[in-house]
Structure formats: C-alpha cells, structure tokens
A and B are shown apart, each in its own frame.
Chain A
Amino acid sequence: MNPFRKNNKQLSIFVTAGFPELNALPSQIEFSQSKGIDFIEVGIPFSDPMADGPTIQESSEIALKNGMNVGLMFEQLATVNVNIPLVIMSYFNPIMHYGLERFLKQCKSCGIAHVILPDISMEVYKKLYRTTFEKYGVTLCFLITPSTSSDRISKMSSLSSNGFLYLVSSNMTTGNSVKSASVSEEDVKRIREAAGDTPMMIGFGIKSRGDVLEAQKNADGAIIGSAYIRALSEGRQEEFISSVSSPELQNL
C-alpha cells in the first residue's frame, strides 16, 4: 500500500543526517515522530549539492565535517524505532560510490521504500537504474515543476506510483528566501490531472504556517527543508514545529 495516499493532509520535515551533531539523526527522528510529523526526509550530505541554497549547503558541509557517510547513516537508522515513513534524499554520487545495489539492499532491510535523487532524470533512470530499484522494491520519487509537461508528469507518476511526486515551484534552489513556494491554481489543476492517483507533495521554500496551508490545499502535503534546518541550528525546533503545525498536531 502507498503510505502517502491518505485523506488527511501531511506535513514532512527534512533533516540532514549528521547535522548539527554527528549522532543527531536518531533523536531527530524520535522528536519529529513525537510531534506528529507524517514522514521524514533524511538527507545524505554531498559536497556539491547543486539544487540546494545556502542553508542546506551549510548543513551538508557541517555534517560531512562531523564525519557522516552512507554506511553510518544506516547504522544510526538501525538504532531507532521508526513508525512513520522515512524517505532518503541525496545526490547520486555518494550512492553510486557506496554501490547502488548495496544501498538499495540496505534501504530494504531498514524498511525504507522511497528515495529522492534530484540529479537522476526520468530518462537516465529508465535507461540505467530502474531494474535495480525495482529488484529491491524501492521507489524513486521524481521532482516535477510547473514547467514539466503533462505528458512527462504522467510518465513520472506511473514510475513513482508507489510513492509520491515532489512538486517544487519552478525556478528555485532550496530555501530561497525571496520567492515563495506558491504554484498557480491552473498549474495545480493541470498537474493533479496528469499525476492521477499518485500522491503529490510540495516543497522548496516552505517557511510558515501559511505556506504549509497553501501547499496542503494544493497537494497531499508539505515538506519543510531549509526553514527547519535553520530552526534546528538555532535550537528553535520545538517552537518552529508548533508554529507550522495544525492545532490538532500541537495538542498531541
């Protein structure tokens, strides 16, 4: 069953493994679960994150300095009692270096069934990696933007149908402070139609309760990245999660 196909609107946060301290990941996951977060994106840091703005760049740099790597992340995940979906997000190079097959096998044994790799396009996935992902039952969740054609979205939607499509507002790296994450109503309508049954999450640039509500109106959920990382580095994560969550969640 697709764990992202739910009636209620979802809220997700992104954490960089190894940030702010090397061993922060397990407690970050426990904390988020306790706050009613629906699923967590775990970022494996990469030295050259081309789609990321300064906040996630910096968290990646710190995580790498702390000594985070793919193997250690899996070791840390094995120590947590996880009861919500985890989605791994990284760039392809550290995974290719670790070995794609070995990585997917580890995902499977940790109960992780969803991965986001922004630098793997649909074409490259189909040509080179699809069979390996399918062998381990792991779904690659594709990024789409309002500029992505309907035809392309429906193709990606069938490849990601056991996961979700990740809608980012067109032209921004993560955490862009100038632009908002909003997507126009016509775009949302067209994209939803093309995506069919595959759930859709909106991310990149979501900072406030207002952004979350708008994303949840247009899609199945919202993913908060840079804004949470910033809160985390300032020790404001409790306060931040309360401020972006629905009243019901806060009372949990």
Chain B
Amino acid sequence: MISTIDYKQPDELGFYGDFGGAFIPELLRPNVEELNNAFLAMRDNATFQEEFQDLLRNYVGRPSPLYYSQYLSETYGAKIYLKREDLNHTGSHKINNALGQILLAQRMNKRKIIAETGAGQHGVATATACALLKMECIVFMGEKDMERQAPNVQRMRMLGATVIAATSGSKTLKDATNEAIRYWINNPDAYYLIGSVVGPHPYPEMVAYFQSVISQEIRSQLIEKEGKSVPDKVIACVGGGSNAAGAFHHFYCESTELIAVEAGGMGVDSGKSAATSALGIDGVLHGSKTILMQDEDGQVVEPHSISAGLDYPGIGPEHANAIRKERTLAINVTDQEAVDAAFELTRNEGIIPALESAHAIATLKKINFKSDEIVVINLSGRGDKDMSTYQKHYESIS
C-alpha cells in the first residue's frame, strides 16, 4: 500500500506527528532561529547547491557504489545490494551532513564549529570539513567512547580538532550531546554541527535533507541495474537515525518496506540494550520530543550497545513517528549477532563493516524474503575504527 502521509516533512514547529518540535531554553532560541533562517534560505539557493554537489562528487567521491552482493543474495534468497557509504571519504555517511552544514556555517559567517560524536565518525567528518574550510573545531566525546574508538580520536586530533571528554552520566553519546549543548549556550557565536537527525527543529529535517542524497542515488542506480527505481526493502541501522533517514527519504511515498535496525545490546530484556523503540516511551531529550528510554521516574537510562554510534537512548523524531505509525518497521540485533554478521561479510565479501552497519547486515537472518525481491542495505561505514573490538572476537574464535 502506498502511503499518503509524507513522513519526512515536519510541520511549522518541527513536529513529525507527536514527535519533534523545539524543546529548548530561551537561551538557545536566537541560535536556533538564526540556523533555521539560514537553512531555509540555502536549501533552494542554486550556488549553495552547486557547491555542495561539487564537494559530494569530487571530495567525498560520490555517488557511492550500489554493490550487488552475490554471496548475500544467494545465502538469503533475494537480490541484495549494499549501498557503499563506507567508501566515502572519512569512511561513513557522516561526511554528507558535515559538508552540508559546514557550507551553511560558512554562509552564516561562523568561525568556530562544535560537534558531539559517538563512534567518532561524525567527529572525524566534522574535523575534516573544518580543516577544509579552515575553521576552529571542538568535538565532545564520551570518555568511554574515546577509549573504544581510539583511532578516531587520533584522526580528529591530527585534523586539528580539540577533543573534549564528556565525563558525566554514562560517558557516551548522550553525555557528549549534553556537553555540546551547554557549550553552545555559553558560546552562541559557535555553530553546533549536530551529527544525526536529533536535536531541536530544524536539525532533524536539515540533517535528513543533507543525507537524502543516499536514497536519491539508490533510485537512479537501481534504474540502471534493475530497470526500476524503487526497491522492495531498505534496511538501515539507527543510532539517532541519520543514515536511515537518508536511505529512506525518497521512499516514504513508495511501496518500499523500510526497516530500521536498533542495537539490542546484550538482548532487549537484559537491561543492557539500546533498542529505543522497543524499550522507550514518549519523552523529551536534547530538544525534541521522541521515543526515549527512561526509568519509572522519567530519568533517562544509560543504554548499552557494543557499537558507540548506536549507544543512544533516543531516536530521531522522524523515525519515532514513522515507527509509531507503522510506516517503518523497527527490528533489533544483539551485540553478538552484529559481530557475527561483520565477520560473515568480511570473510565472504572482503568488506569489513562498521559495527553500526553490521547491525543492518545481521537482520538478513531475521527476515523472510521472496526470491525476486530487491533489498538495499545501507552500509553506513567501514570497520577500521572497530578493529580492537573485532580483534577480541577474532581471538576468541581462533
């Protein structure tokens, strides 16, 4: 059935159904308003678009290939394609959004960029964009994530960024985001370059817009390969949900089944999970209303995932709405299933995926396909940053 609701379009106040909006202190209003005005002016500006498209093509290396995986197709009984965001410059989809926003920041005459990061991929993408445009860069990263994604900390520093450890709470992505917001309140001259489809309006809409190049390319690449632009299923992992938002964007109004993969951690009922839509209820965090993991007193709980990029207690409001209205199907995958899927892909296709992206691969075991179905998995990033985690697993199996 083809949907008549446009799930990618929020209302004037930034609400996607019940979710989204801008739940921000008055202190941030001027910053957010300035951003919204700049975004509205630039999204239809021809020179901005030209510059952005030029960077995507010549700096990022887009379009990223849509790779037909013989192995996965034969093993799981469908026509399975991998959208190779791992081949982008800096190694993940995060660079698409970082470049879009930095061009916006440049037009707003901002000189100082701040960002939060979980896996470090968004931090690296932001530090890269800042090096390119010669801007000052400060990245907030949970102390725990700085340990488990150490190579990315080194990359950010080499790129000239200052990395500040977030030491509050669970010392992961949620806490890094709190620190970035507080810094922004205290330094309104900075540009806050958010890394996912979270935060107050207009961030979720804007980040989805910059990532929508993913589904735009999938459409034209599928025409070439399959003679039609619309796949039967699109599968993407969800931390905040930016790679999923980009991969789903141009398919909301089609018959495509959209599958969002959340991190099940040690299992949804284990108390150590980040499966937000399975465990969360309506709440407000980081400036938007969304589905949020919280305890019986309305305090945000510390999630768990082996993957730093998915270790977040909320989910972008676009996804919260689409999941609640059953347009998007949420599935969760455990730490172990993700690691197994990463090894399966590595040994059979020679592609080492990011732990986040491995969650999307792992869902293949959980879905029954029809043999002629066209399935696209968004391979959001590569696994270099995860070698120490993979190595532990490798040593335990060999």
Interface residues of A (CB under 8 A from B): 46-48, 50-53, 57, 61, 64, 69-70, 91-98, 118-121, 123-124, 127, 142-145, 147-148, 168, 170-173, 176
Contact = CB atoms under 8 A, between A and B. Distances in A.
A172 B186 CA distance: 4
Interface in B152-168: 168
B26 A142 contact: yes
B29 interface: yes
B131 to A, nearest CB: 27
B169 A47 contact: yes
A168 B27 contact: yes
B299 A121 contact: no
Interface string B186-199: 11100000000000
A47 B186 contact: no
B174 interface: yes
A169 to B, nearest CB: 10
Q: Identify the interface centre among A98, A119, A170: most chain B CB within 10 Å of its CB.
A: A119
B25 A118 contact: yes
A171 B25 contact: no
Given A48-B300, A94-B299, A96-B282, A148 B29 contact: yes
B299 A46 contact: yes
A148 B22 CA distance: 16
Find the residue from B186, B283, B298 having the highest chain A CB count within 10 A: B298
B27 to A, nearest CB: 6
Contact of A123 (B13, B185, B187): B13
B375 interface: no
B284 A143 contact: no
B25 A50 contact: yes
B182 A124 contact: no
A93 B26 contact: no
B169 A48 contact: yes
B294 interface: yes
B233 interface: no
A50 B286 contact: yes
A121 B23 contact: yes
Interface string B256-294: 000000000000000000000000011111110000101
B185 A97 contact: no
Contacts, number: 105
A171 B26 contact: no
Contacts of B30: 147
Given A120-B23, A171-B185, 18 more contacts: A47-B299, A50-B185, A51-B182, A61-B168, A93-B292, A96-B282, A121-B22, A121-B23, A143-B26, A144-B26, A145-B26, A147-B30, A168-B27, A171-B27, A171-B187, A171-B188, A172-B27, A172-B186
A47 B186 CA distance: 20
Contact of B178 (A48, A69, A127): A48
B347 to A, nearest CB: 41
Interface of B is mostly: mixed
Nearest to B180: A50
B303 interface: no
A121 B27 CA distance: 10
A148 B283 contact: no
B21 A124 contact: yes
A145 B27 contact: yes
Contact of B284 (A96, A127, A144): A96
A97 B182 contact: no
Contacts of B27: 51, 143, 145, 168, 170-172
Contacts of B186: 171-173, 176
5 tightest A-B contacts by CB? A97-B298, A94-B298, A69-B297, A118-B25, A47-B299
A50 B21 CA distance: 16
A119 B284 contact: yes
Given A48-B300, A53-B182, A94-B299, A119 B25 contact: yes
B24 interface: yes
Nearest to A98: B298
B298 A124 contact: no
Interface in B317-375: none
B178 A50 contact: yes
A143 B25 contact: yes
A100 B138 CA distance: 38
B182 A93 contact: no
A51 B27 CA distance: 8
B298 A119 contact: no
B168 A119 contact: no
A168 B299 CA distance: 26
9 contacts: A48-B169, A93-B294, A119-B24, A123-B13, A127-B13, A148-B29, A171-B186, A172-B185, A172-B186
Contacts of A148: 26, 29
B280 to A, nearest CB: 11
B207 to A, nearest CB: 19
B185 A92 contact: no
A176 B186 CA distance: 9
Interface in B40-57: none
A163 to B, nearest CB: 15
A225 to B, nearest CB: 14
Interface in B11-36: 13, 21-27, 29-30
